[in-house]
Structure 1
Amino acid sequence: MKNERLRHKNIIITGASSGVGLSIAEKCATSGANVILLARRLDVLKEIQEDLQNRYSVRVMIFKLDVSDTDEVKNVFQQIFQEIGEIDILVNNAGFGIFRSAHELSIEEIKGMFSVNVMGLIACTNMVLPIMLKQGKGHIINIASQAGKIATPKSSAYAATKHAVLGFTNSLRMEVSDRNIFVTAVNPGPIETNFFKRADETGNYEKSVKRVMITPDYVASKVVGAMLTKRREINLPGWMNAGSILFALFPGLFEKAGKPFLNKK
């Protein structure tokens, strides 16, 4: 399904080489948008670039970027600005998680998650904000997680990064609310991607949530459909957000009743 609002718009997507980022890129291209794809794997991006340009006749720019390297973020975005003067949408999608008990995580692993999930997201946002403020329009979409609303065992550091993303997103939304810049948080549950190959080496968690997993295509369709609207938050699947509401209202009861399921990692 096309989003006619996106025709000829310039959309930056981080973590665009696979999973949700790739699905978002394809749906944006289908809608006639020009896409700027950022990821660490330049060889994969080149294949995606050729494919999208051939199929949709849109402009596809690619840049190798590790969002945890803030100097590299600055350099890459400056290159983008030199080639494209206006940025309509930024999708902060890059991120990863490691699911282990808190005492089993190394400080390096924790720093790595914060560097990508939080500092990388903020660095990319801070690069486009001056452009959007000058334009008097724009949309920033941050891919957070249900983990940012409900912390679970063996995801302490990962959940902390996503709580930080939601805090940043909610504050930013209020800061720019009168500047015609929209800010949207996306909180998906478990998604069928390679995320769990790194997050859960045992494979136990992936098996336990297999029946409630959603697809990257489903997430991307909801994200792209909300582009250039005032949508505050997207929770996927919708029923899962009921858990976060219950958690906010009755945290002790939720933790006690949900323990058998939450401990399946």
Structure 2
Amino acid sequence: MNLHGTRSTALVTGASGGIGEAMARQLAARGANLILVARSAARLQTLVEELAQQHGIRAEVIATDLSGPGAGESLQNEVEARGLQVDLLVNNAGFGGFSEFARQDAQEISEMIAVNVTALTDLTRRFLPAMLQRGRGRVLNVASTAGFVPGPLMAVYYATKAYVLSFSEAVNEELRGTGLSVTALCPGPVETGFQDAATLNESRLMSGVTRLAVLDVDTVARTGVEAMLRGQGVAVAGLANKVQVSSFRLLPRSVAARIIAGVQARRGP
């Protein structure tokens, strides 16, 4: 993958599975070198070896817990120490939690904000200036259709994704005319380990009619990568999700919140 005739290097956070791994595979297939980031280096090592052999690219692993203090600085320092530069920044790392806010674990809330908001913002600020100096680059931030509405029973997660969406749109506008762009990818439910981690399988969201909007991970990753390369500001993955987002925009937010509360209510026995 080339930007202005030069082979690009993509840094992908949360690359050990799900959307992040699928994006890494698609970027590698397009010829991009990779810097894959996750908490566990062991889970990434097999992937980078496979992709390097299949596609003739350079692929590296950096193990970093993005919820920790100074994680962004540490990651940037390691990238520079290896003599690498980031042309494509994919802020994919993130997680959710399914609970009434008043009962949600305080540490989980802090870590969710640290990964979903703080790390994403920090990494964008750290790598974007060098892209501007070179006159080429792309940022892809994984938001969610959750970013368009309030989310009872996942209040903090929905709020973090609203931040990602608003932040991405604003910075993308600031970059108008530079040749750079920021894309917010907004998938709905995706068949990954996210639902298990967030205990979403306890809710109505992952059952019944709602499952019609569930997409496979490769479709979501392809939507995001292609939108990023086009310089598209916001990409909602899947027709059903596009219709849903358009519908919610027409409703008062109080009504949207009540609908989401019903959709995400815990399933009965």
What are the Cα deviations for residues 47-102 of structure 1, in whole angstroms up to 9, with x where unaligned? 11111112111100110011122423212222213434532110000000001111
Q: Which residue of 1 is the match for residue 250 of structure 2?
A: 249
Aligned in 2, Cα 1:134/1:106: closer, same or farther, shift over 3 Å? same
Aligned in 2, Cα 1:201/1:192: closer, same or farther, shift over 3 Å? closer
Q: Helix, strand or coil for the counterpart of 1:227?
A: helix
Aligned in 2, Cα 1:146/1:133: closer, same or farther, shift over 3 Å? same
What are the Cα deviations for residues 186-217 of structure 1, in whole angstroms up to 9, with x where unaligned? 00000001101121165334335444311111
Contact 2:72 2:122 in 1 (8 A): yes
What RMSD over aligned residues (CA atoms) do the two structures have, in Å? 2.2
Aligned in 2, Cα 1:258/1:67: closer, same or farther, shift over 3 Å? closer
Name which of structure 1's ranges 35-44 and 75-84 shifts more when overlaid on structure 2: 75-84
Name which of structure 1's ranges 178-187 and 63-72 shifts more when overlaid on structure 2: 63-72
What TM-score do the two structures reach when normalised by structure 2? 0.89
For 2:156 and 2:249, how far apart are their aligned partners in 1? 20
Question: Superposition pairs for residues 110-125 of structure 1, below 5 Å?
Answer: 110-125=109-124
For 1:7 and 1:262, how far apart are their aligned partners in 2? 46
Q: Which runs of 5+ in 2 are unaligned?
A: none
Q: Helix, strand or coil for the counterpart of 1:140?
A: strand
For 2:84 and 2:23, how far apart are their aligned partners in 1? 22
Contact 1:117 1:161 in 2 (8 A): yes
Contact 2:150 2:257 in 1 (8 A): no
Matched, 1:44 2:46: no
Letter in 2 for 1:235: V
Contact 1:197 1:203 in 2 (8 A): no
Contact 1:11 1:34 in 2 (8 A): yes
Letter in 2 for 1:54: Q
Q: Which residue of 2 is the match for residue 74 of structure 1?
A: 73
Q: Helix, strand or coil for the counterpart of 1:36?
A: strand
For 1:203 and 1:29, how far apart are their aligned partners in 2? 36
Matched, 1:229 2:214: no
Name which of structure 1's ranges 7-16 and 134-143 shifts more when overlaid on structure 2: 7-16
Name which of structure 1's ranges 202-211 and 110-119 shifts more when overlaid on structure 2: 202-211
How far did 1:264 drift? Answer: 5.2
Contact 2:10 2:34 in 1 (8 A): yes
Aligned in 2, Cα 1:171/1:257: closer, same or farther, shift over 3 Å? closer
For 1:257 and 1:162, how far apart are their aligned partners in 2? 18
Contact 1:70 1:123 in 2 (8 A): no
For 1:203 and 1:263, how far apart are their aligned partners in 2? 8
Contact 1:138 1:228 in 2 (8 A): no
Q: Percent identity?
A: 30
Name which of structure 1's ranges 211-220 and 15-24 shifts more when overlaid on structure 2: 211-220
Aligned in 2, Cα 1:41/1:79: closer, same or farther, shift over 3 Å? same
For 2:153 and 2:38, how far apart are their aligned partners in 1? 27
Letter in 1 for 2:164: V
Aligned in 2, Cα 1:16/1:259: closer, same or farther, shift over 3 Å? closer
Q: Which residue of 1 is the match for residue 188 of structure 2?
A: 189
Q: Which runs of 5+ in 1 are unaligned?
A: none
Number of equivalences: 263
For 2:82 and 2:92, how far apart are their aligned partners in 1? 22
For 1:193 and 1:155, how far apart are their aligned partners in 2? 18
For 1:256 and 1:9, how far apart are their aligned partners in 2? 45
How far did 1:158 drift? Answer: 0.7
For 2:116 and 2:32, how far apart are their aligned partners in 1? 26
How far did 1:7 drift? Answer: 7.7
Select which of 257, 261, 264 maps to 2:263.
261
How far did 1:238 drift? Answer: 2.8
For 1:70 and 1:168, how far apart are their aligned partners in 2? 21
How far did 1:243 drift? Answer: 2.5
What TM-score do the two structures reach when normalised by structure 1? 0.90
Question: Superposition pairs for residues 170-185 of structure 1, below 5 Å?
Answer: 170-185=169-184
Name which of structure 1's ranges 251-260 and 45-54 shifts more when overlaid on structure 2: 251-260
Question: Superposition pairs for residues 207-218 of structure 1, below 5 Å?
Answer: 207-208=207-208, 209-218=210-219
How far did 1:176 drift? Answer: 2.0
Matched, 1:160 2:159: yes
